Amino acid sequence: MATKATIFKVNLQIADMERNYYQDHVLTIARHPSETDERMMVRLLVFGLHAGKYLEFGQGMTIDSEADLWQKDLTGAIELWIDVGIPDDKLIRKACARSRQVIVYTYGGYVADAWFAKNINKFERLKNLSVINFPMKDTRAIAKFAKRGMQLQCTIQDGQIWLGDGNESVQVERISLKESIAGRC
């Protein structure tokens, strides 16, 4: 019998002063059996960074033709494709062909650095691709917030990101490795 996904309920309060976006989101997140708390929390953080009316979680972990998060317009065209981790470069090329903008958020220290160094020449040709890295110390710190029921606050201001649970806050640094022609994400 296959192991089922673990369901997490999240109340996420977002205060994004850079986009003038202030909203509370009640989310249900399915964590795949092979997904770590760290990766799930990075997905949640990325949701906070890009939250909007049409942003939703995809099944990128289990279905190659879907993103981890994406935003589609009313016609179903993909405006924003977001992957978390170190996806295969072929999947990134396909995503760039299908989407207006693609963002890959990496984490994991040396493994993510080596992946980017190996693929940098391939990525330079993809004009609608941005790659952003989160330091391992930051992603491991936010992984500690993972609980089946979470009350979290995400604050973005002056390029700084804070994620907290009411008792503790973690500042998460984002390091831009590659920016799309469309500009900073």
Q: Provide the domain limits for residue 65.
A: 6-178
Q: Is residue 122 part of a domain?
A: yes
Q: Is residue 112 part of a domain?
A: yes
Across all residues in the chain, what is the average pLDDT?
93
Locate 20 and state its tokens.
Answer: 């003038």
State pLDDT tens for residues 23-54: 999 999 999 888 999 999 999 999 999 999 99
- How many domains does the chain contain in total? 1
Per the CB < 8 A criterion, the answer to whether 131 and 158 are in contact is no
- Which strands, in side-by-side order, build the sheet including 78-84? 55-57, 69-72, 78-84, 99-106, 129-133, 175-178
Q: Is residue 72 part of a domain?
A: yes
